[in-house]
Amino acid sequence: MPFLREFASYLPERVVSNAEIGSQVGCDAEWIKNVSGIEQRRFAADDESVADLALRAAQACLEKAKVSASALGMIMIASGSTERQFPGPAATVAHRLGLDSTPALDVPMASAGTLYAMALASRLCDSIGEILVVGAEKMSSVVLRPPMERGVAILFGDGAGACLVSPTEGKARVLGSTLHTDGAFAEDLKLGFDRPLEMNGRSVILQASRKVPRAISELLDRHGRKAADVGTFLMHQANQNLIDRVAQALEVPAERFYSNIARYGNTSSASMLIAAAEWAESGWPAGESVCFTAFGAGFHWGALLAEA
């Protein structure tokens, strides 16, 4: 039986306000907040890489769990903003953790990467042991590429989140997951090499607001649960209005969806685990079920259910 053992996150020091990013693309700070729920975001230093961010979150997670890197059976790093085509950051992070033979897997998926990695880790950990899942993104290096588009530049920030998946112990056991992909919309959210991010915002919001509630309901039905039975939803922090739409579709109070997007913006594949790390700081109530869910480029989406 797989467990979610520990969570941690790392956020860069530099805080970028709506006023600062808005001045670069010609839009008002209050408008940014109204359309996205974002008030500020973090930007990494010029010399900080995706691997640097991932390493900080990985080290924090292992320290909190009191697990040595040498005890890991695998490392998975999810990112859609890595600096080079290959190798990805997973090998670098493993090396910097002092590992020289532990398998390290890159999951090059924007926004939904950590959800897919957690689902995969929960199915592999019984045979290979503890698996460290990390989502790390340096989206500032993407959104600041000219020509800056205001509908894109205002949304994203940098950061990393981590989760340790264990076959034997943890805060909560994983009950199951569901994953989906629809490549018909691949052109609506894409990032080419050395190109600005291209996003059809209307399509992304429309498809996510339809597909995410269906995936959650599918998973809950499989386990004999209703949305009202879930104590907390930990969703990829893409847009506050989207989060509210999903809550409304499931007919649950918006407060059940943990949100920190106001402080960090959209950190793509890092966001769900950054949210989980913050939420878990207050303790996971005994018997409470939590639903993780994400939607991202591809389109890829899904949900994972866990219970204390």
Residues 14-33: pLDDT tens digits?
Answer: 999 999 999 999 999 999 99
**Residues linked to residue 176 through DSSP beta bridges, in sequence order:** 305
Per DSSP, 230 falls in state: -
pLDDT tens per residue across span 205-250: 999 999 999 999 999 999 999 999 999 999 999 999 999 999 999 9
Sequence ranges of the domains in the chain:
3-166, 172-307
Let me know the angle formed at the C-alpha of 265 by 245 and 194, rounded to the nearest 5 degrees. Answer: 110
CATH for 172-307 is 3.40.47.10
Q: Which pLDDT does position 263 carry in this prediction?
A: 98
Q: Given this structure, which CATH class describes domain 3-166?
A: alpha beta
The pTM assigned to this predicted structure is 0.97
Distance CA 192, CA 185 (A): 15
| Contact between residue 135 and residue 108 where contact means Cβ atoms under 8 Å apart | no
**Residues linked to residue 132 through DSSP beta bridges, in sequence order:** 75, 164
3-166 and 172-307: identical CATH topology: yes
